[in-house]
Amino acid sequence: MCGRFTQDYTWEEVFDFYNLTGPALNLRPSYNVAPTQTVHMLGRSEQGLTLGEARWGLIPAWWKKPLKDLPSTFNARAETAAEKPMFRAAFKQRRCVIPSGGFYEWKRSGSEKQPYFIYRADGTPLSFAGLWERWDDPESGKPLLNCTILTIDANDYMRQIHTRMPVVLERDGVDAWLASADAGLLVPCNDNVLTSHPVKRAVGNVRNNSPDLRERADVEA
């Protein structure tokens, strides 16, 4: 699964990497993004790739109950998303990509859990395959864009930390995923794509949001 990640790039960095269209955005970095918070997501328009905002946690258009009754939808299993009622319409018609500087995962060691920061070894942004929806709030009547990150069984590298991982697309896979619901893209990335290091447990508190959360921490072997 992926329950915390960073979006800590500048507009220039993300603009150049994805060859975006549209006006510049004032991007505020976040070093500890948590479910239900607002995130940046990439979509395709007639002009090209664009960057917008959405709530992290998918709400299908047909959902009529209060949001407090919504199950956890910040992740969707890539193996079953095309069939699950919560995700299948978005899988067919509304795919997106969530850019990230890296994500956090917790490795269990006995009764303890050690958080790790996982990021691309080449230093470029991670591109998570995702789905998006538009939900009309029945109370306010206002539309709310929302999204989820697709996850897959971990590759050999990630399996040292956790059994699941986000679907990480290569740059050419970004365009392919937005163009077609190709299940062939929903596979673990190669083992050499990612690297990681342990970080302080402060990342477990969503109220903590500073660059030092990503820094290497000394941990006992």
Active site residues: 2, 105
Cα radius of gyration rounded to whole Å, the chain: 17
- 145 token code pair: 């864009």
Which residues fall within 8 angstroms of residue 57, CB to CB, at 6 or more apart?
Answer: 35, 36, 70, 72, 73, 74, 146, 147, 148
In whole angstroms, give the CA distance from residue 57 to residue 132. 9
Q: In Å, what is the CA distance from 25 to each residue of 36, 146, 154, 175, 208? A: 21, 19, 34, 21, 24
Query: Of 98, 57, 82, 58, nearest to 182 (Cα)?
Result: 82
Cβ atoms 132, 60 nearer than 8 A: no
Q: Which residues pair with 63 in a beta bridge?
A: none
Query: Which positions ≥6 away from 97 have C-beta within 8 Å?
Result: 41, 42, 43, 127, 128, 129, 130, 169, 174, 177, 178
29 SS3 class: coil
- Using an 8 Å Cβ cutoff, are 29 and 7 in contact? yes
